[in-house]
Amino acid sequence: MMKVEQTEKSTKIRKMGKKIAAVTALVLVAAMVVPLSGYVYVAFAQDAAVAQTAPPSDPWAADINPRSEVWRDGREATEGVSQVKAYGANVLMQSGGENFRQIRMGPVSTYLPWYLALMIGAVALFYIISGGGERLEETSGKRVPRWTAFDRALHWFVSILFLVLAITGLSLLFGRAVLIPLMGPEGFAAWAMASKNIHNYGGAFFTVGVVLMIVAWMKYNIPNATDVKWLLKGGAFGKHLPAGRMNGGEKAWFWVNVGGGIAVCATGVMMINPQIFETRELFQWNLIIHTAVAILWLGASFGHMYMATLGAPGSMDAMTKGHVSSEWAKVHHDLWYEEVKHEEFDADQSSSSSPGAGASPGSA
């Protein structure tokens, strides 16, 4: 009897132990699972929100992040209420800012650098094919005056500022991708701030120079029939065609400077005075125009730099010495040479004592 009772008691104890273990396991599982039920609920709630906002026929509706709808709602530019009285203060998020960013970081930052590379490549290819411009032998030692000291000073004033503004502007536009890997974030931040100040203040002096250049040289760059023939017959490709003081290519470059200079300077002045814009969108489009025209102008300048150096040897003398060889004048500007040949002087004479050196260019 004692053995039977002990057996039954031990059986009851084992059964109770199993129940306690089962309950304990259930409690532990519940302790881990119950907190996760909140995430399950949120997931179902998000799916329900997606199903309500997305078109029933959209096969990708389940992949839309509901939080992105908050961003889209904010970009609707719906006006609210604000105590600030400035323009646009009642709008939580200005949609034009994102549109501007996409244009600046998209087409502007992608295609314009390729344009510059293409222009450099075209000049290099032209030089390889042509072998450079014709070198003229100075057999007579005679020179003719071409530009006065004022004209040369104005040319280099505008040219140097043009290059400085190009370097600082390109640094601000492409520096994040090009310069940060080289200079580091801190180094680029310092250079970007310096570039911004140089660009802003230098642009003011550049604007003055461009205006003076247009006023001083417009009278030499009025197109005529001779210029049209020069362009149509390919004078830019090394052919020696009749030309006056300025040939067709030089006149075309002058008017590129007029158009590019007015556009870049006008948009630049407006950028440093943003209060003149009625909306932020106008300011952003002004910046896009300023950037695009400036880079197009810079690319075109590569051709001018080439022609002034390798493309027509001897041309640089006009803007460094103020006079050119008579042989150069006869080949490149024969009609003009006939007008100024009476001002010829020997090469060993100083320009200050040479006939006509103090006269304005083209006065003959």
Position 144 pLDDT exceeds 80? yes
pLDDT at 333: 93
Reported as a pLDDT band with limits 50, 70 and 90, residue 99 is confident
Calculate the alpha carbon distances from 124 to 24, 107, 117, 266 in Å: 83, 25, 11, 32
Lowest-confidence segment of 83-97, 145-159, 224-238 by average pLDDT: 83-97
pLDDT at 351: 45
Number of Cα atoms under 13 Å in the Cβ half of residue 249: 23
pLDDT at 73: 66
Lowest-confidence segment of 37-46, 76-85, 97-106, 207-216 by average pLDDT: 37-46
Q: Contact 361/245 with Cβ under 8 angstroms? A: yes
pLDDT at 272: 87
Calculate the alpha carbon distances from 351 to 282, 313, 357 in Å: 51, 20, 6
pLDDT at 258: 97
pLDDT at 2: 53
pTM: 0.72
Position 145 pLDDT exceeds 70? yes
Reported as a pLDDT band with limits 50, 70 and 90, residue 98 is confident
Q: Where are the domains of the chain?
A: 2-74, 95-346
Position 29 pLDDT exceeds 60? no
Fold of the 95-346 domain? Fumarate Reductase Cytochrome B subunit (1.20.950)
Q: 242-263 pLDDT, tens per residue?
A: 999 999 999 999 999 999 999 9
Q: 31-76 pLDDT, tens per residue?
A: 444 444 444 444 444 455 444 544 544 444 456 676 776 666 666 6
Task: Please count the other Cβ atoms lying within 10 Å of the Cβ belonging to residue 257.
Answer: 21
Q: 315-344 pLDDT, tens per residue?
A: 999 999 999 999 999 999 999 999 998 998
Three-state DSSP string of the chain: CHHHHHHHHHHHHHHHHHHHHHHHHHHHHHHHHHHHHHHHHHHHHHHHHHHHHCCCCCCCHHHCCHHHHHHHHHCCCCECCCCCCCCCCCECCCHHHHHHHHHHHHHHHHHHHHHHHHHHHHHHHHHHHHCCCCCCCCCCCEEEECCCHHHHHHHHHHHHHHHHHHHHHHHHHHHHHHCHHHHHHHHHHHHHHHHHHHHHHHHHHHHHHHHHHHHHHHHHCCCCHHHHHHHHCCHHHCCCCCCCCCCHHHHHHHHHHHHHHHHHHHHHHHHCCHHHCCCHHHHHHHHHHHHHHHHHHHHHHHHHHHHHHHHCCCCCHHHHCCEEEHHHHHHHCHHHHHHHHHHCEECCCCCCCCCCCCCCCCCC
The pLDDT of 86-98, averaged and rounded, is: 69
pLDDT at 39: 41
Q: What percent of the chain has pLDDT over 90?
A: 46
Query: 61 exposed, middle or buried (CB, 10 Å; 0-12, 13-18, 19+)?
Result: middle
Calculate the alpha carbon distances from 113 to 70, 177, 181, 292 in Å: 36, 12, 18, 11
Looking at the DSSP assignment, which residues form a beta bridge with residue 345? Answer: 143
Position 204 pLDDT exceeds 70? yes
Q: Contact 209/148 with Cβ under 8 angstroms? A: no
pLDDT at 32: 46
What average pLDDT does the chain have? 80
Q: What percent of the chain has pLDDT over 70?
A: 68
The pLDDT of 156-183, averaged and rounded, is: 93
**φ, ψ for residue 54, nearest 5 deg:** -90, 150
pLDDT at 36: 43
Please give the structure tokens belonging to residue 296: 């197009």
Position 95 pLDDT exceeds 90? no
Distance CA 84, CA 92 (A): 12
Strand order in the sheet with 345-346: 323-325, 142-145, 345-346
